[in-house]
Structure 1
Amino acid sequence: MKKICFVIMGYGKKTDPTLGKTFDLDKTYHNIIKPAVINAGYECVRGDEVQESGLIDRSMYGLLIYSDLVIADITTFNPNAIYELGIRHAAKPFSTIVMKEKDGNIPFDINHNKTFTYAHMGEDISATEAARCQEDLTNLILRVEKSKEVDSPLFQHIQSVKPYVLPEEEYNQLIKELAEKEKIIFALAEQAKAEMANNNFLKAKDLWKKASERIENDSYFLQQMALCTYKSKSPTEKVALNDALAIINRLDPEGRTTNDPETLGIAGAIYKRLWLLDRSEFAYLERAISYYRKGFEINADYYTGENYALCLELKGISSSDPDEKVFNRIAAKKTRQRIIEIISDLKLDGDFLIRSDLKWINATLSNCHLALNNEAEHNEYEKLFYSCSPLDWEISSYEETKNIIINLNK
């Protein structure tokens, strides 16, 4: 699940009362802040995207408290932005970035904070300055995320104060309210993820569909819609799989152009499940192998690699040719050994243990070691997978692959 960055700032063209200069703050948001936030791997939401009026409301308070990161642009000293920054500093000890146009002074109460500065050129921002600031702000976000350094004056001076934590159920209700208004794509996506967590795949599919209609051909929304479509098994499993195939084909109409591992993985999964439903249609398994192989060979993607190996074994046991049986079994073994090497290289990264896909890495290693008859390693990574608190559908997906491997080993 993507991390959330909430942006507090003035909107449109605003004049600094002390300098008499006018700044187009929307240019700051769209040319610097939003691209930098997205590049750092966050969902970016600005206050005006959730407010029903100019007044700070329930959704604003909730996001100020809950968001993984808050960026506050205090250029022109917009009173609402200053007030909202105060709420964030009272609620969270770290992960707040203050930024401002370079001219003018910073208010005394926050002038000891590190402030990210940028330069306007009249009401606009030069392309060179926008590019510099995007890169610098992205790097700052990543440093702030990693360091967890206290940046709130309250928590710096009164170390005994406790951060406020917004209960998960209250945040989910807030997101549900925003999604029902269909006001912002962010809320639709968050509510879709919540429905997926509760195995409500038909409802999640509808929400991803609404989000995809707001941004045509967005790959992430279409991928999630395809995933929820086949997971729903409605009205029947085969119909759902064919519906999902039609959705994913919108990202790859010819079936041969995409290099995106997520698209390749979902297409492979659809064809694999179609073959498991009807093993007389051998072309389904061949297509699954084709998609998974491409994802693994081009991207060294462990997920598509694991499924590529599994489908090779399924092909081997379905063949009447003894040589082909041996060939596919050996190719599957080599693929799994290569996956373990790839993940070993990933572990050298200092941020490995905070990767968002850590549960899937553990699931992959568990099943790879199971297939290679490394029982101790299989058990170790299975425990690590479950320690990541996977959702019900994620557990089902893992157990499905595990059971196929157990039957193959027999």
Structure 2
Amino acid sequence: MKKICFVIMGFGKKTDYSTGKTLDLDKTYKNIIQPAVEAADYQCVRGDEIQEAGLIDKSMYALLMQAELVVADISTFNPNAIYELGIRHAVRPFSTIIIKEEEGKIPFDLDHNKIFPYRHLGEDIGTDEAKRCQDELKEIIINITKNTFIDSPLYEFIKDIKPPKIPVAEYKKIIGDLAQKETHIFAIVEKAKDHMLENEFTEAAKLWEKAAVALPSEDYFLQQQALSIYKSKNPSEATALTDALRVIEKLAPEGESNDPETLGLIGAIYKRMWFINSDTECLKRAISYYQKGFQIRNDYYTGENYALCLDIISSIEQDECEKNYYVISAKKAREKIIKILDNVETSVNDGNSNIEYKWAYATLANCYYGLKNDEKAFLFENLFVQFSEAQWEKDTFFESKERLLKLVRK
């Protein structure tokens, strides 16, 4: 039986509020941690794979105590991951590796620990960086396996204390029970993503709901559930939007949130409502949520949609001064987004393009269409289409483009 590496980390897309950067932690697990761990000949078990309730259960405690190796990703400072790392340090003197995305501050209580850094692009991790991290993390694991040394601050500073032990028979039973389970949260999430790629949004929404019920502390599941519901248009588009809003508002009580992902989704729902009912209040709410998301993090997705909604409201505004204000504000927002994505555009100009910047290409295309620079817009549109994996992604882009051109090319 292979030795077990237990991985504690957040999952899904999480925002690091110290940097304003949103990371897809699932990509960290799949592109760095899991390949490195398995290459070092360990069985890799992720924390969410054994949780079927919102509380840490005996399986979690058993693995924190007995797993031959623990990798703890503290990126975005997920509270559950920090708590579980504390438990590990309390019950095991050695064989714990801490990793973190390179940007952002490290909490005071952890800044004296050796931490393995990696570079995340947000949506994904670059191929070269993933390979570098896999190789280096594998070597660290092999070194730890061969040479036992204390890495827990508790056992380093307080001598002659003995770590607690779990009975061998009980531990073997827990591991055996885990092996017999056919469904884990991570598996549910992967299946939900597959349904979304196939435009099967009703089925995806059910799976995201199942994951959200199992782990109510994970905002990502509710966000994806809301997105899938409103994309499903089931049983009707208007009803689906109302249902989606009811789900996502759990993360924004009384309309308040500082998470750009949540703000962007609420904005998208209200924008879609405007397209159905032409209620100006829906459009104003969409603008408000998109604007806040753009201001909080310079988020190009919310910024692009903020600009589009400004164009829409300018088209129905009767007061010429207000109309001009909206038009100028949309122009300034697009110019700011292009500056934000300067590194992406520079990379393309240098002949480098990849799927990691897929949605950035879509945003740049729409921004350049809005600024009437069709040559650059067409370049980024082609790149987006080249890297799009799902039909709904293309449908969303071309619907937005068509609406934008009607507004700015009168």
Classify the TM-score, shorter chain. 0.5 to 0.7
1:145 equivalent to 2:124? Answer: no
1:302 aligned partner: 300
1:231 aligned partner: 231
CA distance in structure 2 between the partners assigned to 1:34 and 1:72 by the alignment: 16
2:357 aligned partner: 358
For 1:88-139, what per-residue CA distance to the aligned partner results, in whole angstroms no more than 9, with x for missing partners? Answer: xxxxxxxxxxx977xxxxxxxxxxxxxxxxxx98952489986479862444
1:70 aligned partner: 36
For 1:181-210, what per-residue CA distance to the aligned partner results, in whole angstroms no more than 9, with x for missing partners? Answer: 762111101000100111100000000000
Aligned in 2, Cα 1:284/1:41: closer, same or farther, shift over 3 Å?
closer
Aligned residues: 300
Q: Which has the higher contact order (CA 8 A, sep 6+)?
A: 2
How far residue 253 of structure 1 moved from its aligned partner, in angstroms, is 1.1
For 1:34-87, what per-residue CA distance to the aligned partner results, in whole angstroms no more than 9, with x for missing partners? Answer: 2399998543999xxxxxxxxxxxxxxxx9x9996231597xxxxxx56x69xx
Q: Counterpart of 1:401 in structure 2: which amino acid?
A: S
Give yes or no for contact 1:217–1:250 (8 Å, CA) kept in 2. no
How far residue 375 of structure 1 moved from its aligned partner, in angstroms, is 0.9
CA distance in structure 2 between the partners assigned to 1:203 and 1:66 by the alignment: 29
What SS is found at the alignment partner of 1:250? helix
CA distance in structure 1 between the partners assigned to 2:113 and 2:292 by the alignment: 33
What SS is found at the alignment partner of 1:249? helix
What SS is found at the alignment partner of 2:255? coil
1:278 aligned partner: 277
Give yes or no for contact 1:366–1:382 (8 Å, CA) kept in 2. yes
1:10 to 3, 15, 24: 3
CA distance in structure 2 between the partners assigned to 1:278 and 1:37 by the alignment: 36
Give yes or no for contact 1:45–1:186 (8 Å, CA) kept in 2. no
CA distance in structure 2 between the partners assigned to 1:222 and 1:36 by the alignment: 15
What SS is found at the alignment partner of 1:241? helix
2:8 aligned partner: 34
2:216 aligned partner: 216
How far residue 326 of structure 1 moved from its aligned partner, in angstroms, is 1.2
Question: Percent identity of the aligned residues?
Answer: 36
CA distance in structure 1 between the partners assigned to 2:306 and 2:297 by the alignment: 13
How far residue 286 of structure 1 moved from its aligned partner, in angstroms, is 0.5
TM-score (norm 2): 0.63
The correspondence of residues 382-397 of structure 1 with structure 2, limited to 5 A, is 382-397=381-396
CA distance in structure 1 between the partners assigned to 2:251 and 2:355 by the alignment: 24
Give yes or no for contact 1:233–1:241 (8 Å, CA) kept in 2. yes
1:136 to 106, 115, 133: 115
How far residue 333 of structure 1 moved from its aligned partner, in angstroms, is 0.8
Q: Counterpart of 2:195 in structure 1: which amino acid?
A: E
Give yes or no for contact 2:35–2:134 (8 Å, CA) kept in 1. no
TM-score (norm 1): 0.63
CA distance in structure 2 between the partners assigned to 1:184 and 1:134 by the alignment: 31
2:194 aligned partner: 194
Q: Counterpart of 1:124 in structure 2: which amino acid?
A: R
CA distance in structure 1 between the partners assigned to 2:212 and 2:10 by the alignment: 23
2:92 aligned partner: 124
How far residue 261 of structure 1 moved from its aligned partner, in angstroms, is 1.1
The runs of 5 or more residues in structure 2 that have no matched partner are: 15-22, 45-66, 70-87, 99-109, 140-177
Give yes or no for contact 1:9–1:73 (8 Å, CA) kept in 2. no
CA distance in structure 2 between the partners assigned to 1:367 and 1:73 by the alignment: 42
The correspondence of residues 9-408 of structure 1 with structure 2, limited to 5 A, is 10=3, 29=6, 33-35=7-9, 41-43=24-26, 69-72=35-38, 123-125=91-93, 131=110, 136-139=115-118, 145-147=130-132, 183-256=183-256, 258-279=257-278, 281-345=279-343, 357-408=356-407
Q: Counterpart of 1:71 in structure 2: which amino acid?
A: V
1:50 aligned partner: none
For 1:325-359, what per-residue CA distance to the aligned partner results, in whole angstroms no more than 9, with x for missing partners? Answer: 11111111111111101100456799x96876511
Aligned in 2, Cα 1:357/1:299: closer, same or farther, shift over 3 Å?
farther
Give yes or no for contact 1:34–1:44 (8 Å, CA) kept in 2. no
How far residue 238 of structure 1 moved from its aligned partner, in angstroms, is 0.5
What SS is found at the alignment partner of 2:281? helix
Give yes or no for contact 2:10–2:25 (8 Å, CA) kept in 1. no
Q: Counterpart of 1:10 in structure 2: which amino acid?
A: K
CA distance in structure 1 between the partners assigned to 2:280 and 2:390 by the alignment: 32
Q: Counterpart of 1:35 in structure 2: which amino acid?
A: M
How far residue 406 of structure 1 moved from its aligned partner, in angstroms, is 1.4
CA distance in structure 2 between the partners assigned to 1:298 and 1:67 by the alignment: 30
The runs of 5 or more residues in structure 1 that have no matched partner are: 1-7, 12-27, 47-62, 75-80, 86-98, 102-119, 154-177
